[in-house]
Structure 1
């Protein structure tokens, strides 16, 4: 799995990687369009550490940060709660200290100026000043749902300005190879377009538009 994640991370700077990853997964596995980067240019790829919160209790988020391996991406199932934040400056600094790669929250985030200045990639469905409260409840590394997509511990998360895509663990190696094939084909189509040649709306390569 490390080689797959390293391969995807190497492709992030090219931009719009989530689009190609979704194409490679038969145009699926993207979280809902409500998931947006907290700051422009945020992107990340890593192995999912899952969190299921309980109400507005964010204790499990801190528990997950404390056990997550470097390079992991936290995926937080806060059941779509947008009136309380499950991420902010304190969690960002703790995650940076653990060398995590990013956080994806089906719920609210706050302290967006600090998150942006610290340069930590965060994707959420809402921004709110209200903080969640610690209560000792929730679960870490259990199957969850985020944005209508099932996420299991160890799945691969790819996120950029287009949104967030989940790559199921068992599909990850084949997906990376498919992404490379699609990118190569895409570059050929773009080169034709740049030369003024007619390009069809959709190529014979599945998923390209």
Structure 2
């Protein structure tokens, strides 16, 4: 298992930087999903909190307990710059596990964003601070500290398993999880798919030719 948190010029760091360089591509998450065999995406109700939010980074995972958000702050403290906090709130939807205070703490650590299988709050502040957050809902209710929960353990949210170090790619279309072991090959495929898409759209508008492969 790789914690995905160190960008040190290693091969892993080169792959991560390669994905980061593509973040400006329109609809990058769609291409990444295509490279994963049209899979890897969290369920459709995991949405950006503010329009235009985008992120790429290795996952630091958090599993909360009840409405306790202590582990969220523990995860922020444990995360290296460029990481994405991925929070599994085990179905709790009436308490927020993210807000302005967590955002400011995450910004101070240099985190790339947060993905929450649960709710957040303070959405006006999040938009103003331009911190990318994706969640399944919004509620004014705040979670409470209690000292429970876990950090950097396997979690599941939005119908997808996420392990520490897996690559998270998210934009206006949603969130995609790239298993750590597949990141290098996926980057190669994504680059090839992006170029093929450019070439195809530049030469034709024929609906027969624009169908995805495998469609008849």
1:202 matched to which residue of 2? 211
Runs (4 or more) in structure 1 with deviation over 6 Å come to none
Number of residue pairs aligned between Structure 1 and Structure 2 = 204
1:110 aligns with 2:121: yes
Q: CA deviation at 1:82?
A: 1.3
TM-score, with normalisation over the residues of structure 2? Answer: 0.91
SS at match of 1:82: coil
> 2 CA distance for matches of 1:84 and 1:92?
16
> 2 CA distance for matches of 1:24 and 1:147?
19
> 1 CA distance for matches of 2:157 and 2:208?
36
Query: Would you say the 8 A contact 1:192–1:198 is kept in 2?
Result: no
1:173 matched to which residue of 2? 184
> 2 CA distance for matches of 1:133 and 1:44?
27
More strand by share: 1
Give 1:55-134 correspondences, 5 Å limit: 55-134=66-145
> 2 CA distance for matches of 1:4 and 1:56?
36
Q: CA deviation at 1:8?
A: 1.1
Give 1:10-89 correspondences, 5 Å limit: 10-89=21-100
SS at match of 2:148: coil
Q: CA deviation at 1:176?
A: 0.2
Q: CA deviation at 1:152?
A: 0.3
> 2 CA distance for matches of 1:85 and 1:198?
45
TM-score, with normalisation over the residues of structure 1? Answer: 0.94
1:5 matched to which residue of 2? 16
Unmatched runs of 5 consecutive residues or more in structure 1: none
> 2 CA distance for matches of 1:198 and 1:125?
35
Q: CA deviation at 1:198?
A: 5.7
